[in-house]
Structure 1
Amino acid sequence: MKVSNSPWLLHYDGSSCNGCDIEVLACLTPVYDVERFGVINTGNPKHADIFLITGGINTQNKAVVEQIYSQMPSPKVVVAVGICACNGGIFKECYNILGGVDTVIPVDIYVPGCAARPQAIIDGVVKAVALLDEKKKKRDQKKAQGGSGNA
């Protein structure tokens, strides 16, 4: 099976306590080295294939998350890291928390934990790369069946 060539990963911190963000950064260190799986960290949503988001969605960051997601090219994969990103976590009863990431954008992979461990985050990223490959394969098959119209 052909794998994606260096999918780019965009990390966004919603309204979290920064515990999961510290663990995401730990994944980038030589100890865990998530880049050995071919992913590259980027700050530009227009170049990103995988959207890694930590923290819950609140009234202030809802529009930002929607905008980042809309700027990413298709196919794309969304990974919710930490229990706050999965369902709002301990903050879900707060007046300004709307819930997990899936209240605003579709989530493909959930990585629970408070804070999510680097091993779990890396597992989620590896699953995201595999899912991205699957989505690209389906897109290419659809193009081949329907033709591009540029013959």
Structure 2
Amino acid sequence: MVRILLKILKTGLLTEPRPPLSPDAPGPFLAVGGSLAIRHVDAGSCNACELELHALNGSYYAPERDGLRFVASPRHADLLLVTGPVTRPMEQPLRDTHEAMASPKTVLAVGDCACHGGVFRGSPAVHNGVDGLFPGARKVPGCPPSPSAILQALRGLSRSDPAKPPSRA
């Protein structure tokens, strides 16, 4: 037991620091008095992006501090977060999820696969990302993108257009 504790003390922290909020914008969602409800759909990914989303949702990044929360129902969601290259069997469920969301709604593609198909691009089994299904979807490139990149993209959603995503206080 002592050996393990000494190794922990010797190794130190190996995580990246949490991105600070900019001083001119104390918090994009809290500034408008609401929160952002996110519905995540895995449309056929390798789960690397999901691992980063799990890391983002932990206590280190604490997304609730920024008003971000993941919800189970698309009816409660403001944002549809998609990972994976959108396999052919997932096209219709993805459209149904988007249709079940209240307007206005935003789509965020996370990872190279969701953005443009990634390594699966051109395969007859995939749709090559969300572009064909939801034109104008916002993107977070990377294979996989870091939790801090995803967090910065989520923070930036309301800065670019205050009406999107809506405030749900």
Q: Which bracket does the TM-score occupy, shorter chain normalised?
A: 0.7 to 0.9
Greater strand share, structure number: 1
The answer for unaligned runs of 5 or more in structure 2 is 1-27
Greater helix share, structure number: 1
Q: Aligned Cα RMSD in Å?
A: 1.9
Misfit runs of 4+, over 2 Å: 128-137
Give distance in 2, aligned partners of 1:9 and 1:136. 10
Give distance in 1, aligned partners of 2:84 and 2:161. 23
Q: SS where residue 58 of structure 2 aligns?
A: coil
How far the C-alpha of 1:132 sits from its partner, in A, is: 6.0
TM-score, scaled relative to structure 2: 0.75
Aligned counterparts, 1:1-151, within 5 A: 3=32, 5-131=34-160, 133-135=162-164
User: What residue in structure 2 maps to residue 143 of structure 1?
Assistant: none
Give distance in 1, aligned partners of 2:44 and 2:92. 13
How far the C-alpha of 1:128 sits from its partner, in A, is: 2.3
Q: Report if the CA contact (8 A) 1:79-1:107 is conserved.
A: no
How far the C-alpha of 1:36 sits from its partner, in A, is: 1.4
Q: How many residues align?
A: 137
Instruction: Tell me which amino acid in the other structure corresponds to 2:59.
Output: P
How far the C-alpha of 1:129 sits from its partner, in A, is: 3.5
Q: 1:71 to 1:130 in 2, by over 3 A?
A: farther
Q: 1:56 to 1:136 in 2, by over 3 A?
A: closer
How far the C-alpha of 1:27 sits from its partner, in A, is: 0.5
Give distance in 2, aligned partners of 1:132 and 1:50. 14
Q: 1:35 to 1:104 in 2, by over 3 A?
A: same
Q: Which has the larger radius of gyration?
A: 2
Q: Report if the CA contact (8 A) 2:158-2:165 is conserved.
A: no
TM-score, scaled relative to structure 1: 0.83
The answer for unaligned runs of 5 or more in structure 1 is 138-151
Q: Report if the CA contact (8 A) 1:78-1:106 is conserved.
A: no
Q: SS where residue 41 of structure 2 aligns?
A: strand
Give distance in 2, aligned partners of 1:134 and 1:72. 16
Identity level (%) = 34
Q: 1:22 to 1:42 in 2, by over 3 A?
A: same
